[in-house]
Amino acid sequence: MTVDIEGVTLHLAHPDELPVRWVGQEEVMRQLLAAWLVVDEKDLPMNPRLVGKPGVGKTTLAYAAAKRLQQEIYILQATVDTRPEDLLITPVIEGAGRLRYVASPLVTAMIRGGICILDEGNRMSEKSWASLAPLLDSRRYVESIVAGIKIKAHPSFRIVATMNDDASTFDLPEYIHSRLQPQILIDFPEREEEYEILRENLPFTDEQILEYVTDFLQQAHAANERYTVRDGINIARYATKLYKLKATAWGCSKALQVAVLETLGEEALRYVRRV
Tens-place pLDDT, residues 181-207: 999 999 888 899 899 999 988 999 989
Q: Please give the Cα distance from 175 to 95 (Å, whole number).
A: 41
The amino acid present at 94, given as its one-letter code, is E
230 burial level (CB within 10 Å; 0-12, 13-18, 19+): middle
Q: Note every long-range contact of 101-105, with CB atoms under 8 Å and residues 24 or more positions apart, other chains counting.
A: 101/8, 101/9, 101/10, 101/11, 101/146, 101/147, 102/10, 102/11, 102/13, 103/10, 103/11, 103/12, 103/13, 104/13, 104/76, 105/13, 105/16, 105/74, 105/75, 105/76
Tens-place pLDDT, residues 120-175: 998 998 999 999 999 999 999 999 998 899 999 999 999 999 998 876 667 888 99
- Helices then strands, each counted (H, E), the chain: 10, 11
Tens-place pLDDT, residues 102-115: 999 999 999 999 99
Which of 1, 7, 10 minimizes the C-alpha distance to 91?
A: 10
Strand partners, 76: 118
Position 44 confidence tier, pLDDT thresholds 50, 70, 90:
very high
Q: Please give the Cα distance from 3 to 12 (Å, whole number).
A: 7
